Structure 1
Amino acid sequence: MSVPERQSKNQRREHAREQARLLREKEKARQRRNRFFLQGGIGLAVIAIIAIVAVVIVNSNRPLVTTASGPANMLSDGILLTGSAGATTAVTTAAIKPKAQPVATDASKYSKTANIVEYIDYQCPYCNEFETTNQDQIAQMVANGTATLEIHPIAILDQSSQGTRYSSRAANAAACVAALDPNAFLAVNKALFANQPAEGTTGLSNQKIISIINGAGATGDALSTCINDETYKSWVTAATARALAGPLPNSSVAKVSGTPTVIVSGKQYPGSLTDAATFAAFVAAQTPKS
């Protein structure tokens, strides 16, 4: 067997160059693969982000609904009170059905009066200021038939009652009154503000709420059960979300950005919460001239 000839210096150089070329081609191929996977990964990430954004947009545009029925006489998410000859009555309506949207009050039916709409939180001290200052004159306007009053209880201050969710429980209690004893609502509304707990306290127990409401003229075992069971808990959550998302019906107000939000015949009241004369003048300015 013959012995293979040893490679010459030139052959060894050419072999080294060929090996280097093959290594360069291999590295280029590896880089191309990496770029492909990176671009593919970025593409998938972009698609995922687009999908997430689409879901968020769809969900943000989805109607805010509850799977439970709302309270009777609050089809608009509020209770409407009207009056004449010194007497005030609640306008009766059906309840909001599960997964349905509220139906705005038909303001055209009340084109000859000032239409006062309030979005309130029973824990809100500013709401208390407004109510304490104006509730008697508003009640008189309604009883005389010169104004209507639509009250929307919402709950945005649950964090102010040391975990007892007083805002939500009080709003639920108001909804129970609207459903079961609507003509007592105005007196109950007044009583809840007169007994408002201070922010940062534990709020009031359900039993204390029931006692206050009973004292205002709304009574009965069904009412107590409704309050204790928080029958309209999910409605309170949905109605609050709707108010915060807006727009507010029959008005130019985009949404509730704080309480109280008070609207008179479509225009938001911008004045003092503690000056009854200023509010009365604003209402008079929005009252249709006969």
Structure 2
Amino acid sequence: MSDKRPSKNQRRDAAREKAKQFRVDQKKKERRNKVLLQGGVGLAAIGIVVVVALVIMNSIRPAVPGPANMASDGILLGEGMTAVTTSALQPEATPVASKPDATGTVANIRVYVDYLCPFCGDFETTNGEQIAKWVESGAATVEIHPIAILTGRSAGSQYSLRAANAAACVANYSPDDFYAFNSAMFVDQPEENTVGRSDADLQELVKNSGVSTSLSQIDTCITDETYKSWVIAATDRATGGPIANSPLEAIAQTPTVLVDGKQYQGSLGDPKEFAAFVLQSVGESYSTSTPTPSATPAG
């Protein structure tokens, strides 16, 4: 019986051939992996470029006109809480300062607010009602400037910016309801370093504050952040100054309250002190006139 087992040499040659084939297969595998890796890196790079492009496109949207009725960067309310209507401020245009009442009987009150600012809430809670009574009766005008200087203090939600945008939406579509909305924004006011109200919350607040016209347009305006670029520009103008109809160089804090161009620096929690300041400011501006606002807030 013959021995059919491979000889030693045959086994050695077979092992060499097998090793050779293994090296060939290994090199093919390495080349294939390299191609796949390069392709994957390329696709990842393309994906990153696409994402970055989308972020840039979404963050650098074309500037749009500001809201109607805020050509001064604020909304001016007069007797009966009726808004003074103005055309929308075009992008890059210079705001048109409101003309102060020149009769000598009307106090011109101007308030710069950030809806996340707790001190703004204190001022509104203390003085909002008496200011409303003065304006309703024609004893005063009030011009409210929503700005967003606390945008970075809302846990990444940009609440100040979104809230000021919501205010601009109301000013544009339902200006005579603006004061009621402005007051409602300080009821259960969100605290700093919280996310604040969502867009849905702001939409609900618009409705609950008594705004009854153009609700669908306002809802869309809030969701789309229509006036975001205007809020940023208006905030830059306020903090960069100068401040029209006032010796104030710039807005350094909120609330900043001006009466006939003079800055109120008294207590934010004492309505009598603010009423006395209004009376004094009007008296100084019009020394031959008798100002109408009472120094004692109505109960």
TM-score (norm: length of structure 2): 0.72
Deviation, structure 1 residue 98: 2.1
Q: Return the match for 2:69 from 70, 73, 83.
A: 73
- Once residues 224 and 212 of structure 1 are traced to their aligned partners in structure 2, the CA distance between those partners, rounded to angstroms, is 11
Residue 182 of structure 1: how far off its partner (Å): 0.3
- Identify the residue that residue 274 of structure 1 maps to in structure 2: 269
> Which residue does 1:178 correspond to in 2?
171
1:222 maps to what in 2? 217
* Corresponding letter in the other structure for 1:269: Y
Matches for 1:195-274 after TM superposition, within 5 Å: 195-219=188-212, 220-274=215-269
Match of 2:136 in 1: 143
Return the offset for 1:108.
4.9
Match of residue 101 from structure 1: 94
For 2:143 and 2:103, the matched residues in 1 are separated by: 12
- Cα RMSD for the two superposed structures: 1.3
Q: Using the alignment, how far apart are the partners of 1:110 and 1:70 within structure 2?
A: 30
Change (3 A) 1:107 1:174: same
| Residue-by-residue CA offset, 1:211-255 (whole Å, 9 max, x unaligned) | 111101124110100000000000000000000001110011111
Q: CA deviation at 1:195?
A: 3.0
- Counterpart AA for 1:150: E
Alignment size in residue pairs: 222
Distance 1:92 1:221 in 2: 21
* Structure 2 residue ranges without an equivalent (≥5): 1-61, 291-299
Say whether the 8 Å CA contact 2:121–2:186 is kept in structure 1.
yes
CA distance in 2, matches of 1:195, 1:248: 31
Structure 1 Cα separation of the partners of residues 117 and 207 of structure 2? 22
TM-score normalized by the length of structure 1: 0.74
Alpha-carbon distance in 2 for matches of 1:110, 1:159:
42
Give the Cα–Cα distance (whole angstroms) in 2 for the partners of residues 286 and 279 of structure 1.
Answer: 10
1:146-165 equivalent positions in 2, closer than 5 A: 146-165=139-158
Task: Confirm or deny: 8 A CA contact 1:68 1:99 kept in the other structure.
Answer: no
Q: Report SS of the residue matched to 1:209.
A: helix
Residue in structure 2 matched with residue 22 of structure 1 by the alignment: none
Are 1:133 and 2:133 matched, yes or no?
no
Residue 186 of structure 2 corresponds to: 193
Residue 280 to residue 154, structure 1, CA distance change in 2 (3 Å): same
Q: Is the Cα–Cα contact under 8 Å of residues 75 and 104 in structure 1 kept in the other structure?
A: yes
Q: Residues 239 and 136 of structure 1: is their aligned pair in 2 closer, same or farther, counting only changes over 3 Å?
A: same
Q: 1:267 & 1:236 partners in 2: Cα distance?
A: 24
Secondary structure of 1:193's counterpart equals: coil
The runs of 4+ residues in structure 1 deviating greater than 6 Å are: none
1:169 matched to 2:162: yes
